[in-house]
Amino acid sequence: MNATRYELEAHLVAICCSQAPEGRNLWTLSLLVNELKNRKLYQFEKRMQHIG
């Protein structure tokens, strides 16, 4: 499933407001990305971008 931007935002907010995974106090960006992947809400492309 590829959610729309707004659906993805809603799921992301819900995940951020939920309890962090066992052994963690807070959600990190990496944990959030993995959770979105696990829920099959979004497919991330691996690409490097130089900023500067």
pTM of the predicted protein model: 0.69
Q: Which two tokens stand for residue 4?
A: 């729309």
Q: Which two tokens stand for residue 22?
A: 């066992």
Question: What would you measure as the largest C-alpha separation in the chain, in angstroms?
Answer: 37
| pLDDT surpasses 70 at 51 | no
Distance, CA of 35 to CA of 1 (rounded, Å): 14
CB-facing half-sphere around the CA of 6: CA atoms within 13 A? 0
Q: Write out pLDDT tens, residues 3-32.
A: 688 888 898 999 999 999 999 999 999 999
| pLDDT surpasses 80 at 46 | no
| pLDDT surpasses 90 at 44 | no
Q: How many domains does the chain have?
A: 1
Structural domain boundaries enclosing 1: 1-52
| pLDDT surpasses 80 at 50 | no
